[in-house]
Amino acid sequence: MNNQFQYLAIPGATTVGIVCSDGVVLASEKRVSYGNFVLSRSGKKVFKVADHIGAACAGLVSDMQILMREIGVYAALFKIETGRPISVKAAAKVMSNLLFSSRLIPYITETIIGGIDDEGPSLYVLDLLGSTILDRYAAVGSGAEIAIGVLEGEYRDGITVEEGRELAIKAIKSAISRDAMSGDGIDILMITRNGIKEESIKF
């Protein structure tokens, strides 16, 4: 067998998003791993896009950082040009267009984008080609199968942001316990009408 074509080591992650009655919770663990090598124990995979929108990613950290910078610029330009903040749906659509336009050399990232606007809290899940799915809760990354089981079992309509925070932590901790590519702490964004609150928990 020709060793010229080695498999591409895609980084692991566990990232979740939850729509709550009063906002949105986005969270991800902190480990950055390539194959069986842990590159960093303090990677950041949750990002503030605007004052009322955030995103959380799983995949190549470089790709998610560039994508978040781009969508942040579009959100800022929209506010300058129109005098009002971009909606969560419009931000998700812009991100979808960016991902689809790069489909031949794609960003290697799965993204959850969420926030709160005039229509209330909402959450969208995007794959690396820009497919956009509206959902109430979601999990992406190598630990997603474990995390989604916790979310499926415990999510309910009317959950508060504080309850959503606890559920996100529980889902990610469950994934960390079984997924070797996830670990080392949790970064959390809590988005409400009062703005974005960031929290980091180290293990």
By annotation, the residues acting in catalysis are 14
Q: What is the dihedral of CA 145, 153, 202, 52, to 10 degrees?
A: 90
Pairwise CA distance, residues 112 & 140, whole Å: 8
Secondary structure tally for the chain: helices H, strands E: 4, 12
> Based on the number of CB atoms within 10 Å of its own CB, is 4 exposed (0-12), middle (13-18) or buried (19 or more)?
exposed
Pairwise CA distance, residues 147 & 14, whole Å: 7
Pairwise CA distance, residues 113 & 143, whole Å: 18
Q: What is the dihedral of CA 54, 59, 64, 67, to 10 degrees?
A: -100
Q: Are 181 and 31 in contact (CB under 8 A)?
A: yes
Pairwise CA distance, residues 203 & 191, whole Å: 23
